Amino acid sequence: MEEDARYLKKKIKTGAIDVHPTLSAIVVHFEVEATILGEAGDPMLGENKQSQKTIMIKNLVPGTDLRKLSEVIVEKCNLIHPSKIPELEQLLYYLQTRKIKVSAETVDQEMERIRQAASQFDDIDEIQEKADLNELESYVDLLYDDMKTKTRGTSLILQLARNPDNLAD
C-alpha cells in the first residue's frame, strides 16, 4: 500500500470566526482534510482534523478604524475569506467595546497593590525646595538613589524645565 501512494492532497475548510473569551483576540476555526492519493488519483487514506488559529489584536482603542483593521487581518490571514470582512468588523467592534468581568477578589488585590505603590509617594507634595539651574548636575545624580530621592530629583528638574528662561541656553 505504501508503494502505491504517490500524492498528498490537503484541503482547508474554514469555519466560524469568534472572539476569544478572555483575550483581545479573534479565533478562526478551520478543518484540515488530508488525503493520500494513489497513482490513478483515487483516494487511499484520508483524515480530517479540526483546528483553530488565534489572532491577537493589539492596541484596539476606541478610535481604531475597524474596517481597515478587518481588511488587514483578512489580507494577512488566508483562513478568512474577504466576504467575511463585515462579520470580522462586527467581532472587532464587540472586542473594542466589551468589558472583561473581573472578580471582586481580583479587584481588591489590585487596589491593595496600587495603594502600596502609591504609599511611597505620599510625601511628594512636601517638596518645597526651590530649584537652582546651577545645581542641575546634582539633581541628575539624585536620579540614581532610592525612590524618594529620585522623586525629589525629578521634581527639581521639572521645576527647572517649567521655567522658560532655563530652556533658552
pLDDT along the chain (169 residues), means of 10: 62 90 90 82 81 88 88 90 93 84 63 71 61 89 88 87 75
With a CB cutoff of 8 Å and minimum separation 6, the contacts of 35 are: 8, 9, 10, 11, 43, 44, 45, 46, 47
Residue 103 pLDDT: 55
pLDDT of residue 6: 64
Overall pTM surpassing 0.75 (yes/no)? no
Q: Which residue type, as a one-letter code, is found at position 160?
A: L
User: How many Å apart are CA 47 and CA 155, to the nearest integer?
Assistant: 67
Task: Report CA torsion sign: 93, 94, 96, 97.
Answer: positive
- At CA 155, angle to CA 149 and CA 160, rounded to 5? 130
Q: Shortest CA distance to 138 belongs to which of 157, 125, 123, 124?
A: 157
The whole-number pLDDT of residue 1 equals: 45
